[in-house]
Amino acid sequence: MHYSLAASKQNPAIEMSTFDEQVRFATQRVRVALGDAFGLAGVDAGKPTNVSRSLGLDKSLAWKACRMVTDEDASSVVSRLPGRAGVRILIEAFERARVEASAITELREAFKLLDEVITTHAGSRDTLQAMIGGATADVQRERDEAQRKLAFQGQSATWGVRTRVQLASHFVFPSKTPGKLDLGVMCGLIDFRRLRADVPWAMANLFAYADDGAPIPTRYESLDETLAPGEAPLIKSLCSPSLPPLRGIPGRRDGMTRFELTEGPVGNTGSATCIMGWCNRGTVEPRRTENELYGEAMTRLNTPAEVAIHDLFVHRSLKFAMKPTVHVYSQLPGGPVYPYDGRDQGLLPIADEIIDLGEGPPDLTTPELPRYRSMIELAASKMGVVVGELHGFRLRLRYPPVPSLAVFRYELPE
């Protein structure tokens, strides 16, 4: 979106878009500006105590400011918004931290814009929050997350590994081959650690399938042109320099390859980031067939992780894919196997919903990954995609169940 909002009668642009669009635009602008200010000040929004100490802020104000960046839907941003005095104190703290003037100006304008939206539509933050719904972190979600955290701790000890972030970013865009689509993937583990040195670990599986589960012959190209033929599709510039070797192992299913990180050192000193990326060009048709009714982007959640970030980026011309749904399936041995046993079998009751990242470009503010914007821009450039032409959708799942499968799904057109 490229319009501006104002409560002034001299600026009628506020009437040119829907209420939901205005709220989303204003809150995303605050999140982006605030996230950039944290980054320029050299502080981590995921650690409110450190922010309070580093910027000299009251703990409550620091907590609110951090949650405005780490909470990812509009109702949460509005509920955490400080009063005018708190906003002034926050901006002054960034000025003392020598954040550059242009970022300070953008932050001030972003807060002003959100305040104008509140005044125009609701008159108060409480009223606006009631208009846009309740906060994301309801009682049931907090209870589920607490249980999954216990499972994460037990699984880490059992399997001997854990990771801070599991990332999967999928791209869907028109191919240069007429009537076809290109599919791209950037995925990996960020700050992966072993608790035992003798543990190898699977990083990714490469395969494609039809609705009935039958494998589809396909060919992938790596996003890193520096790789030799046959090498695992790493994006070396995004990986740790000391990353242990990655080996490819043919899977039991036809056409599947499992890429596995070899054994390595334990603990924080052995922490490593492994990012892979590839593109499948011109082999998918954007239309429904007898065997294929849906387009899907999936990631296997097999690693005990503090958070899984599963993003889908769709080119704005592909209108049929703009209302995806998200599903999480059990992958326990002996249970239903997806997709062979049908899409209604093995579903897990995960309460998290899709976060609309918007477009033009999508909101890529991701507290767990300060470099995420540049990572997406790099991957998109390798695929030949303009980030500003993509619409983003996100599943953000803390302590994801292991093993499971997270699936974005959209209907293919007739």
How many other C-beta atoms can be found within 10 angstroms of the C-beta atom of residue 20?
12
Query: What does the pLDDT read at residue 207?
Result: 58
Single-letter amino acid code for the residue at 117: V
Q: Indicate the range of 67-71, 232-236, 267-271, 309-313 predicted with least confidence.
A: 67-71
pLDDT in tens, 84-93: 899 999 999 9
pLDDT in tens, 145-201: 888 999 999 999 999 999 999 999 999 999 999 989 999 999 999 999 999 999 999
Band (pLDDT 50/70/90 cuts) for residue 344 is confident
pLDDT in tens, 30-73: 999 999 999 999 999 889 999 999 999 989 899 989 988 887 66
Averaged pLDDT score across all residues of the chain = 85
Determine how β-strand 390-398 pairs with β-strand 305-315: antiparallel
- Residue 4 DSSP class: -
> Contact 204/341 with Cβ under 8 angstroms?
no
- The arithmetic mean of pLDDT across residues 312-338, rounded, is 93
Determine how β-strand 325-330 pairs with β-strand 404-411: antiparallel
Band (pLDDT 50/70/90 cuts) for residue 414 is confident
Band (pLDDT 50/70/90 cuts) for residue 399 is very high
- The arithmetic mean of pLDDT across residues 362-379, rounded, is 94
Query: What does the pLDDT read at residue 235?
Result: 94
Question: pTM to 2 decimals?
Answer: 0.68
Query: What does the pLDDT read at residue 93?
Result: 93
How many other C-beta atoms can be found within 10 angstroms of the C-beta atom of residue 155?
20
